[in-house]
Amino acid sequence: MKRNTSANAYFVQRIPVDVKARAAGLKLCIPLADGFVDKTVPAGAADIRFSLRTADKSEVKLRQAAAAAYLEQVWRNLREANDNGPIRLRQDQIAALSGELYATLVRAFEQDPGSPERWRQRRVEIDEATRYSVPIEEGMPLSEIADPERAAAMEREFGRGVDERLAAKALIVDADSRARLLEAAARVKRDVYLVLEHRAEGDYTPDAGAAKFPEWKPPIHQKPAAASSPKAAEGTSSGAWAFPATALSANTMQSSPTT
């Protein structure tokens, strides 16, 4: 489809009737060329539409196919989540997603990292965001600590990166999985900033840290296990359904990943 005011083709796909109610408010991260386009599904929306940013017929076909495949996975996951509940990610899947964040950040900044002070300051900010503001009893599991101030700081600092990973893979996960991914993202970003501090100092020793992350393997849909504690879901506003709260713009991953 072409827009009347542009030579570029336009992608349009109707939202299936059986998932329309569940899709309302969902954030999408749709592949487009070498990047992504972010869309939020409005309540009552009949379709998903956006510019393919090209008029070349062969490129239009490729971009339409990639977008259609992504959306088909989204609709499939919505149906499965409706039947069985959202997915609970395994620990290896949490590690794989955080590893993708690690690789993206290192790749984006290591060639020209700027000053070492920049990355020292970012590590200080990570420490501040992850610091508990309430007393912690000895031996108390961290998942049982109610700390709204920390939860809000974690969301501000790491929420976008986590939701980009989930949206890019069309994942609909439970609140516990998202909370665990937030904690993993905090650890990963601190590690990345230390690597980039070394790069800024001229140390380009091969980074062994990237090797510790496993390869991503898509989950087989399953009923989520009970969260370790209701406190684990703090910082998410979606209840049991952890919809991605943000998505990548078309150029974000390629040019300016969130730091």
The tens digit of pLDDT for each residue in 145-156 reads 788 888 899 999
Give which of 51, 6, 46 is closest to 23, Cα–Cα. Answer: 46
- Is the confidence at residue 28, as pLDDT, over 60? yes
- Is the confidence at residue 244, as pLDDT, over 50? no
pLDDT confidence of residue 59? 96
Q: Are residues 190 and 237 in the same domain?
A: yes
Q: Which residues pair with 50 in a beta bridge?
A: 11
| Domain ranges, residue 145 | 91-244
List, in order, residues 6 or more apart from 182 with CB less than 8 Å away: 154, 155, 158, 159, 162, 235
What does the mean pLDDT of the chain come to? 81
- Is the confidence at residue 84, as pLDDT, over 80? yes
Q: Are residues 102 and 64 in the same domain?
A: no
Q: Are residues 140 and 209 in the same domain?
A: yes
Q: Are residues 76 and 96 in the same domain?
A: no
Q: Are residues 145 and 55 in the same domain?
A: no
Whole-prediction pTM: 0.69
Phi-psi region at 70: left, alpha or beta (left = phi > 0; alpha = psi -120 to 50): alpha
d(CA 69, CA 173): 20
More confident call, 230 vs 44: 44
Mean pLDDT of all residues in 14-39: 90
Q: Are residues 25 and 125 in the same domain?
A: no
Mean pLDDT of all residues in 38-50: 92
- The number of distinct structural domains making up the chain is 2
pLDDT confidence of residue 183? 92
Q: Are residues 152 and 234 in the same domain?
A: yes
Q: Are residues 45 and 129 in the same domain?
A: no
Q: Are residues 156 and 196 in the same domain?
A: yes
